[in-house]
Amino acid sequence: MSKDRAASLIFLVFGIYGFIFSINIPMGEWQSPGPGIFPLGISIVLCLSGAAWFIANGKSVPIETVSWRAVGKTAVRPLQVVGITLIFILLMDRTGYLLGSSLYLFTLLLLVSRYRFSVALAFAVALGGGSWFFFGKLLGVELPMGPGFL
């Protein structure tokens, strides 16, 4: 599949989603256009655009194709980062910022960046503690509190 054709599928998903959910919003009249008219119009343009990209890239020989094996290889690190970040976000309220961010950084530095255990731990504590001090203490951002003083 060509890269453009893969992109056209994303456009179609957004366009069809917008179309389905905007037809139920009141359209109003020309004298007083309702809140549905603008998203409906955009969704139609997006669907047409996605369909045009899909058709235009179907017949011609793709200049650059998506190699799913290559994507699997190169996307390992971004996927690891996304997964670890998701866990951090979901657990942040329970662990608190100071502990959570240090654990999060430690995991990233150990698993993704491949630092040694002690190096990863040192950087994680320094960066996590530093960001907690900068945002929480200096800028007064209300960060989630965890168990104890963490």
Partner 1 sequence: MDVLSNLHSGFQTALTFQNIYLCFIGCLWGTIVGVLPGVGPLAGITLLIPATYSLDPTGAIIMLAGIYYGAMYGGSTTSILMNIPGESASVVTCLDGYQMTLKGRGGAALCISAVGSWVGGTFAVLGLMLLAPFLANFAMKFGPAEMFAVLLIAFIMLGSFGSGSFFRTLPMLCIGLLLGTVGADSMTGMRRFTHGIMSLYDGIGFLPVAMGTLALGEVLTAIEESLSRHIPKVKFRELLPTREEFRASVGPIFRGTGVGFFIGLLPGSAHVLSSFISYMVEKRWAKRPEEFGTGRIEGVAGPETANNAAAGSAMVPFLSMGIPTGPAPAVMMIALLIHGIRPGPLFIAEHPEIFWGLVASMYVGNVVLLILNLPLVGIFVNLLRIPFRLLFPAIILISLVGTYSVNASRFELLLLLGFGVLGYVFRKLQFDIAPLVLAMIIGPIIEVHFRQSLMSSGGSLSIFWERPIALVLIVVSCLLVLWNIYRSLRPTQAAWEKVLSENN
Q: How far is the CB of 118 from partner 1 (least distance, A)?
A: 14
Q: How far is the CB of 128 from partner 1 (least distance, A)?
A: 8
Backbone φ/ψ region at 26: left (φ over 0), alpha (ψ -120 to 50), beta: beta
Task: Provide the terminal-to-terminal Cα distance of the chain, rounded to the nearest Å.
Answer: 49
**How much of the chain is helix, strand and coil, in % rounded to 5?**
70, 5, 25
Q: Which of residues 30-69 bind partner 1 (CB under 8 A)?
A: 30-39, 42-43, 45-46, 49-50, 52-53, 64, 66
- Asked if residues 102 and 125 have their Cβ atoms less than 8 Å apart, the reply is yes
**Does position 3 bind partner 1 by CB under 8 A?**
yes
List the structure tokens of 45: 């343009």
- Asked if residues 96 and 144 have their Cβ atoms less than 8 Å apart, the reply is yes
Which parts of this chain interact with partner 1 (CB under 8 A)? Answer: 3-4, 6-7, 10-11, 14-15, 18, 21-22, 25-26, 29-39, 42-43, 45-46, 49-50, 52-53, 64, 66, 71, 74-75, 77-78, 81-82, 85-86, 88-90, 92-93, 97, 101, 104-105, 108-109, 112-115, 123, 127-128, 131, 135, 139-144
